[in-house]
Chains A and B, each alone.
Chain A
């Protein structure tokens, strides 16, 4: 269509330039460029949103309200939620030999616990790892009623190589890419946005808890769950 439109415009311009007096040349150019501008603007209005997505960042944050619907970039919300807060996590590392014994990939031994904790530190959260939280998990009923699925966290973990303390292969971009994008299926970020018994939520509370799935056997996918400490103490703690 654009070739036809511009073909017609070009032919018209050329005919006018050839047959009109030179003193009308400026008018021909003016008309030609005015048409080009209009066609271009119209083309943009019709098609540009099909090519790249656009957002209006009224909130002044990276995370856009539209991300929630599509489950995009949940990790771009985490810096706002977690920065400068005390974040309690489990402390259940596993070395790569034990991981392989259980039928997991050897990468699990390097990445489990470490990537999450180092990522939290990168976000300037004050991480407190507690053995007492090991084995704790929200129930399926709690996940269904109290938590919201913000979307996949695979990319979030894929890029934790930036703060990895592993040298050589386990620490590099390609190992992370393979593990989180090719090897694992989807892992999600869940937030509990509701107010706890103290009246605080994850936005206002200074103490949060971040748990990951306690996977038995060969399963490696670990969703992460973020809640207030008060909610954890009341509902999740074992």
Chain B
């Protein structure tokens, strides 16, 4: 039997291998084209590295829109939506260019020629070959994957149903309320493009993510200036060898961290969520660093960069059911950076409010999904929409509030809110809260996928404290520190909102949500060690 089975399985290998590799290449170029249409040129490495996540984000956004509007989830329609997004972006860019010109008559094509600078054919060819090589490598099977029940039923069978029925159905039942639609949409790629699983798609995503993390580390170790504030000893450029060493150490630290190994290989939504979350946070820091460097004389992050970030954030919010909560936290965090709040609200929250309102209407009103227990309930859905609306209003008025109180108060207010929220939850159900805390502790210290990472984090923290004591300096509370603290406090809240107590095992959803924070923690620690150099 095993001989027959082996021969049978391998009879599909070449076809599926080729199809999945070419799909990765396709989505890289779909994303690259969108980045190009937004930004007018491809100049920085980060623009190339964002192409693949952006390509997946466009697919998720198109699929989400088609499903919640019940238009028909079919491949031609997905490409049509993406084409419309391209068209709209092109039109907006040309209009913006026209407004900058003096009055006169300009043809559309002359404005396009002025707006866009095509990358060289050689660069495109080399990039394409590199991406193809990475795609072939990702799909080769050399990288191991971890599979579980949820991997198959939530992210393979459910996507199959989405493609088969082309719409949301009442029969999907708790999958509509418990499974992130974005992650399920990524799982539909095999059924449209002629292969069977998304292991290569995920591996390529993580290879790309590691390059983004490497880019983030390289930027971190380039100089001592972050967020416009000087590092220890004043602003300085680190020697190239230290920059290289710092970058390599960061990458190796992440690569050998057991939580990252597990989350990157496990065929679940958590892997994508981890990658998208860090990418969004780093992208926000990167874009605001460009503003702070005054290389681009503007008060706020460029519109094109805001739109790019918004696309990543919308995709992030759809990957898991608590994604909207994390999105709101990140948006409020980004409001402390030089982003135009109205643009963030317009390009991130407005689409989310529309999409999620339609999604919740579909689930609870049109499809009338009823089940004894669901993660997302009617009450939570309404609260999420109201929360999005509240943050939308805040972002539109943030400039007036910041003029009065300054940006920094938002960080303090958020941490106070989350801490207070946790105290409130503790008081409201002491037993559940303590059970969850104990589960977290047992997961961190046991065999739940954390390895030596928690002990390393404590050790690194102690070393930093000693360094500061010796130097008689005060440690900075960086933006990434704030993100990590906020995320950890929010995780406790989100897990409490689940209702059931957490379990002591690697597969527990609360444990997996915590595993998602590891790249952020590694970056935050690296930032502090960089300050000590």
Cβ-based interface call for A109 (8 A): no
B147 and A59 within 8 A (CB): no
Interface on chain B toward A: helix, strand, loop, or mixed SS? helix
Q: Which residue of B lies closest to A7 (CB)?
A: B459
A68 and B1 within 8 A (CB): yes
B4 and A60 within 8 A (CB): no
Cβ-based interface call for B129 (8 A): no
> How far, in whole Å, are A200 and B144 apart by their CA atoms in the complex?
34
Q: Which residue of B lies closest to A52 (CB)?
A: B146
Contact of B258 among A40, A75, A80 (CB under 8 A): A40
What sequence of 0s and 1s flags, for each residue 48-59 of chain A, a beta carbon within 8 Å of any chain B beta carbon? 101111111111
Interface on chain A toward B: helix, strand, loop, or mixed SS? helix
Contact of B447 among A25, A51, A172 (CB under 8 A): A51
Interface residues on B, range: 35 or more
> How far, in whole Å, are A65 and B4 apart by their CA atoms in the complex?
11
What sequence of 0s and 1s flags, for each residue 185-204 of chain A, a beta carbon within 8 Å of any chain B beta carbon? 00000000100000001010
Closest CB-CB distance, B163 to chain A, in whole Å? 9
A2 and B144 within 8 A (CB): no
Cβ-based interface call for A17 (8 A): yes
Closest CB-CB distance, B204 to chain A, in whole Å? 13
User: Which of B70-78, B104-112, B249-257 sits within the interface?
Assistant: B249-257
A122 and B173 within 8 A (CB): no
What sequence of 0s and 1s flags, for each residue 494-513 of chain B, a beta carbon within 8 Å of any chain A beta carbon? 00000000000010000000
Given the interface pairs A9-B459, A52-B506, the reply to whether A47 lies near B197 with Cβ below 8 Å is: no
Q: Which residue of A lies closest to B466 (CB)?
A: A14
Task: Tell me the B residues contacting A by CB distance below 8 Å.
Answer: 1-2, 4-6, 8-13, 16-17, 20, 139-149, 152-153, 156-158, 160-161, 164-165, 170-175, 195-197, 199, 242, 245, 249, 252-253, 256-258, 261-262, 265-266, 370-373, 447-449, 451-453, 455-456, 458-459, 462-463, 466-467, 470, 506, 529, 532-533
Task: Tell me the A residues contacting B by CB distance below 8 Å.
Answer: 2-3, 5-7, 9-10, 13-14, 17-18, 25-26, 29-30, 32-34, 36-37, 39-41, 43-44, 47-48, 50-65, 68, 73, 75-76, 79-80, 121-124, 148, 155, 159, 161-165, 167-168, 171-174, 193, 201, 203
Among all A-B residue pairs, the 3 with the closest Cβ atoms: A58-B141, A60-B16, A59-B9
Known contacts A6-B452, A60-B197, A79-B196, then 15 further A-B pairs from the complex at CB < 8 Å, ordered by chain A residue? A2-B451, A6-B456, A36-B459, A39-B452, A40-B456, A48-B261, A48-B262, A60-B141, A60-B196, A80-B9, A155-B149, A159-B157, A162-B172, A167-B170, A193-B5
